Amino acid sequence: MSWKGRDVINILDFSREDLDLLFQLANRYADEDYRGNDLENRMAALLFLEPSTRTMYSFMSAVYRLGGKPITLSKTEASSIAKGETFGDTIRMFDSYSDVIIVRDRREGAAKYAADIAESPVINGGDGAHNHPTQAMIDLFTITRYRGSVDGLKVGVLGDLKYGRAAASFILGLTIYDPDTIYLISPESLRLKKEVRDYLDRVGVKYFETEDLTDILPELDVLYVTRIQKERFPDPLEYERVRGSYKIDLSILSNAKDDLMVMHPLPRVDEISTDVDNSKYQYYFKQAHNGVYLRMALLKLIMGD
């Protein structure tokens, strides 16, 4: 299916062939540290109604690097949202000011809702605890770039699998490929959401749930660490019970494969010790860096000539 004009709402809307094409272009941009005028005279609206560093600024950087112009809204108190304007009307306005809308909102389904209203393509920059498809694209691209493929790998996903949208989208994204096994490592109360587990069952991907990393760590090719999503807990006591559940440091990693990739969508709080930063296992900063090239490729395929 052609990329031109497409919405990006859920990673499962994309096939392996779609992602191959995207990663091919992202690899080229990364190899050349590309800058160009491919999106000259194109405008991209960035509506970030929830905090963001990487998603918002890497999209902005991607727009600038391709010669386009970003329009941003991130402080709702400085816009008509503070006067009571509805989300739908805000989307309608940005639709008429720009050629693509990238939106982040705390409500599940917000990006889909925006896509149903807007004529321009809408990219989901995160909708509550639900989806974060461009993060999943970056994650899959990073594995493909350094390992050649996701196929046959043993992938551990650790941390907050209940509220983490990056974790959920990454896990769904893995099913587009043929990984050996997905290990879901979390405290019992932060187990992967049922709807995602049901999907894994339906497509027949092999997965294994555990609270303990120790036994499976030596098996893993990728360890995807996630932050406990403090802001999504309805009850602060529930958060207190699980905070600091896992901490990955170099001594724990002494049991890992030599070429284990430690990934993280970032921001980290304390779940990866800084002593991992300068080790061979560190892929999380590379992952964030790759985010710019991946998002450039995405914008070019959706909006380019």
Say if CB 141 and CB 208 are below 8 A apart.
Answer: no
Q: ∠282-286-287 over CA atoms, to 5°?
A: 100
Distance CA 291, CA 297 (A): 10
Binding string to ligand ASP for residues 21 to 40, with x set by CB under 6 A, is what?
A: --------------------
Contact present, 66 and 39 (Cβ < 8 Å): yes
CB of 109 to ligand ASP, least distance (A): 16
C-beta closer to ligand ASP: residue 157 or 303: 157
Q: Which is nearer to ligand ASP, 165 or 295 (CB)?
A: 165
Rounded-to-integer distance, Cα 161 and Cα 148, Å: 26
- Rounded distance, CA 265 to CA 268, Å? 8
Between residues 166 and 253, which has the closer beta carbon with respect to ligand ASP?
166
Using the rule CB under 6 A, is 70 a contact of ligand ASP? no
What CA–CA distance (Å, rounded) separates 284 from 295? 17
Minimal distance, residue 173 CB to ligand ASP, in Å: 14
Site for ligand ASP in 261-300 (CB under 6 A): 265
Strand order in the sheet with 100-105: 69-73, 43-48, 100-105, 122-127
Return the closest-CA partner of residue 100 out of 223, 208, 3, 201: 3
Contact 273, 247 (CB under 8 A): yes
- Number of chain residues interacting with ligand ASP (CB under 6 A): 6
Give the shortest CB-86-to-ligand ASP separation in angstroms: 24
User: Under rule CB under 6 A, which residues in 159-198 are in contact with ligand ASP?
Assistant: 165-166
Task: Give the residue with the Cβ less far from ligand ASP, 156 or 303.
Answer: 156
Query: Minimum distance from CB of 55 to ligand ASP (Å)?
Result: 6
Q: Which of residues 87-146 bind ligand ASP (CB under 6 A)?
A: 126, 132
CB of 165 to ligand ASP, least distance (A): 5
Which 3 state secondary structure label does DSSP give 52?
coil
Report the residue number, 176 or 263, with the smaller CB distance to ligand ASP.
Answer: 263
Alpha-carbon span 154 to 112, nearest angstrom:
32
Contacts with 240 (C-beta within 8 Å, 6 or more apart), sequence order: none
Rounded to a whole number of angstroms, the minimum distance from the CB of residue 166 to ligand ASP is 4
Phi then psi for 120, rounded to 5 degrees?
-70, 155
Site string for ligand ASP, 218-247 (x = CB under 6 A): ---------x--------------------
Whose Cβ is closer to ligand ASP: residue 6's or residue 264's?
264
Euclidean distance between the first and the last CA atom of the chain, given in angstroms as a whole number: 16
Identity of the residue, 134 or 175, whose beta carbon is nearer to ligand ASP in the bound complex: 134
Which residues make up the interface to ligand ASP (CB under 6 A)? 126, 132, 165-166, 227, 265
